[in-house]
Structure 1
Amino acid sequence: MIERNHKHRIGRSLEEAPAVVLLGPRQIGKTTLAREIASESPGSVYLDLEDPADAALLSDPGRYLDLHAGSLLILDEVQRVPGLFQVLRGRIDARRREGHRTRQFLLLGSASTTLLNQSAESLAGRALYYELPGLDATEVGGRRDALWVRGGFPDAFTAASDAGSGRWRLALIRTYLEREIALFATRLPAETLRRFWTMLAHRQGGLLNASALAQSLGVSSPTVSRYVDLLVNLMLVRRLQPYFANVGKRLIKTPKIYIRDSGIVHSLLGLRTLEDVLSHPVAGPSWEGFVVENLLSAAPFGTDAWFYRTRAGAEIDLLLAPPDQRLRAIEIKRSSAPRTSKGFEIATGDLDVTERFVVYPGNREFPLSARTLAIPLEALMERLAYPDFV
């Protein structure tokens, strides 16, 4: 079993709040991690609300919660019982009055927007929200390329072969298309969404052009926006927003779109091996998306992320503002001999940037200029992580 860095962060969050909401797509490892936490918390209780037997235990939720007062109660797929949040609120407040302020509930969910909307009012000021990403480059023992090709879903990464990993990912895609998405969009044809998802894979890291996608699919632009919203809600797609600054230049104001898991990108495009990926035009954009997800996985809680691009072509692939709010500019290169682009130099000159990095697939750090450092992905992840979160 791969030791997850995020276990310590989640444990810390449980010590700071009565409820922690753990978000993440299906099969990303939430349940495994929650069970590990449970094994270290004597008397804890785990319920899977997709299991009718477990869900039946909450037919009278107030009574059940009172029965297990004082224990850490872990509720999986909690978005399936939206009425539960009001009951949780009452029990949290009652226990607060008794002096119990932390480690009461760990709530797991696989639909971020849905779960946030359900819990926002009831658990306001009572819960911390934590998103569990896929496996990252610091967790896989130097197998960065394998992680890039197979993606961060644990079962996909640990498969016995590339072919086995590919079969697992195709099965996951089919599960989402045939089962999961129907829970949130009952009238959405699976084949249409499969085509849309594949189109996004071909356009990995590109600007969202809803009208072009709509024309290709034969639907309206608002329909495409709903498709994107759905995949963002399921934490399968990232919508990276542009950074706005008063720099006296015309700025791109359209978000960039990434399929968040590189393995899903490759499966949608029929790519199984590293050689397949490297020989395909998606290699550069796929590597960019992989780096973006890994860096955001390592960044401390509260980090803001954007890209920056002017209509004249000045661009920063990823602009990060951790809680100290000092901007870090990152250019992403799939080259063993990276150089900064002219557009990056211009863009970083436009903004008040504290540090400049070029992430590349090598293993050594070296200066590209007096202000810019070429750096391996794992090294930058370690720089970004605050020591007390590592």
Structure 2
Amino acid sequence: MIIARKIKTLVQQRLKSYPAVALIGPRQSGKTTLARSLSTDYFDLEQEPEQLRLDVQWPSLIKTKRLIVLDEAQSWPELFPRLRGAIDMERQRLGRFLLLGSVSPALMKHVSESLAGRLSLVELTPLTLTELPDIPMTELWLRGGFPDGGVLTSDRYPQWQKDYLDLMTQRDLPSWGLSAKPQVMQRLLRMLAAVHGQLWNASQIGQSLGLSYHTVNTYVHFLEGTFLIRKLQPWFANVKKRLVRSPKCYWRDTGILHSLLGVQDYETLLNQPWVGASWEGFVIGQILDTLNMTGWPVDPWFFRTADGAEIDLMFRYKNKLWAIEVKLTSNPSLQDFDSLNRAADLVGADKRVLVSQTTQSAVGKMQISCSLQELLEMFVKPE
């Protein structure tokens, strides 16, 4: 099945405005496939023969009018001064280089040192609900959005996710600079699955692993940079209530989460005591990924007071503060909306959205009750 990636338009727009664009995102999310659809001049810089080929052809390549694709660019650090020199020689030439990278920290180090002001960053996520109109939402929620992970061919889930994490912990993470032993990382990943959607407590995780909370925070920060984990920071507002100040931790792909937790099918998922946290993380991820691919990335937060007022997701979008509450139900109640409104009043939210699995939406100027699909369409095709 050929999937038209919606972010392709954004990449093409950025290439018209910058000499170089860096397409970042997790391994196996589709970066190479997307890049090859834009150019046939492709170099995989994790392979030494490809580095040699690029080295030999460099003088002629920088004169061509074609787009040059450089995959896993951070694997060859000496490339970045060359890129800077080539760009600065003809600063007005746009759309010359497309860099691909899976490891944000390593790539960003080279970008900040050599390509600041010369390059635009675009993040490619796994497949989203708006890109899979013919796939049931439950399939995407269960198996996650990696193109090869089972959402398109169900027989690959959950073995693909297990193999993916094995390769990450045994080869990729150590080669990218993470010093943790593979066995320790595998235990950490399982623990992160167990606390998905909960307030982050590095000390508690560290005690279970025999590590300091500093070390745990370092490891998790690295996992954030590899696009596996998302930390959602708390919103700090000038309200007369004591606020929760710890971030919440989510797996960015629910297919990997469910694989770690031993879920084989949708019926099993619905019977888990943590299914609500899984649904919450899925909805939050779909919203943020959709906004990102439309060119409107946002800074997300959550809000919680010590006495229980809570908003699952907040962000500013087009000069309005959005407050979103997620419920795993097909029949949201007035009490659900009352709770959302009480919390939203504390922060002065302009939009209050209750996202559920309802089939009967209600859209007002300030208040909205709708399904996830309907909300995402509002962002993809704003009124």
Q: TM-score, normalised by structure 1?
A: 0.91
Asked whether the equivalents of residues 340 and 352 of structure 2 are also in contact (C-alpha less than 8 Å), the reply is no
Aligned residues, how many? 376
State the partner residue of 1:33: 34
- C-alpha deviation, 1:186, in angstroms: 5.2
Structure 1 segments (4+ residues) deviating >4 Å: none
Q: Distance in 1 between matches of 2:177 and 2:23?
A: 23
Q: Distance in 2 between matches of 1:159 and 1:124?
A: 38
Q: Distance in 2 between matches of 1:79 and 1:282?
A: 38
Are 1:72 and 2:64 matched, yes or no? no
- C-alpha deviation, 1:12, in angstroms: 1.3
Are 1:332 and 2:326 matched, yes or no? yes
Q: Distance in 1 between matches of 2:339 and 2:78?
A: 51
State the partner residue of 2:12: 11
Which residue type is aligned with residue 51 of structure 1?
Q
Asked whether the equivalents of residues 178 and 219 of structure 2 are also in contact (C-alpha less than 8 Å), the reply is no
- C-alpha deviation, 1:260, in angstroms: 0.4
Q: Distance in 1 between matches of 2:38 and 2:57?
A: 23
Give deviations 1:88-115, integer Å, cap 9, x for gaps: 111112122xx42x21111000011221
Question: Cα–Cα, structure 1 residues 387 and 342, in superposed 2: closer, same or farther, change >3 Å?
Answer: closer
Question: Cα–Cα, structure 1 residues 129 and 61, in superposed 2: closer, same or farther, change >3 Å?
Answer: farther
Q: Distance in 1 between matches of 2:85 and 2:240?
A: 52
The gaps in structure 2 that reach 5 residues or longer are none
Which residue type is aligned with residue 28 of structure 2?
Q
Are 1:222 and 2:214 matched, yes or no? yes
Are 1:281 and 2:273 matched, yes or no? yes
Which residue type is aligned with residue 379 of structure 2?
L
State the partner residue of 1:41: none
Q: TM-score, normalised by structure 2?
A: 0.93
Q: Distance in 2 between matches of 1:88 and 1:371?
A: 48
State the partner residue of 2:143: 150
Name whichever of 5-14 and 127-136 sits farther off.
5-14
Match 2:241 to one of 249, 256, 274: 249
Which residue type is aligned with residue 51 of structure 2?
A
Asked whether the equivalents of residues 21 and 128 of structure 1 are also in contact (C-alpha less than 8 Å), the reply is yes
Which residue type is aligned with residue 336 of structure 1?
S
Give deviations 1:126-179, integer Å, cap 9, x for gaps: 111011111111111241110000001001134533x42211111111111111
Q: Distance in 1 between matches of 2:381 and 2:78?
A: 37
Are 1:199 and 2:191 matched, yes or no? yes
State the partner residue of 1:57: 53
Q: Secondary structure at the match of 1:348?
A: helix
Are 1:236 and 2:237 matched, yes or no? no
Q: Distance in 2 between matches of 1:13 and 1:81?
A: 24
Question: Cα–Cα, structure 1 residues 261 and 328, in superposed 2: closer, same or farther, change >3 Å?
Answer: same
Match 1:359 to one of 355, 362, 369: 355
- C-alpha deviation, 1:370, in angstroms: 8.3
State the partner residue of 2:264: 272
State the partner residue of 1:108: 100
Q: Distance in 1 between matches of 2:98 and 2:381?
A: 24
Asked whether the equivalents of residues 341 and 352 of structure 2 are also in contact (C-alpha less than 8 Å), the reply is no
- C-alpha deviation, 1:64, in angstroms: 5.4
Question: Cα–Cα, structure 1 residues 252 and 186, in superposed 2: closer, same or farther, change >3 Å?
Answer: closer
Give deviations 1:196-251, integer Å, cap 9, x for gaps: 11111111111110011111111110111011111101110001111111122221
State the partner residue of 1:296: 288
State the partner residue of 1:92: 87
Are 1:83 and 2:74 matched, yes or no? no
Asked whether the equivalents of residues 366 and 374 of structure 1 are also in contact (C-alpha less than 8 Å), the reply is yes
State the partner residue of 1:314: 309
- C-alpha deviation, 1:65, in angstroms: 4.0
Q: Distance in 2 between matches of 1:386 and 1:315?
A: 28
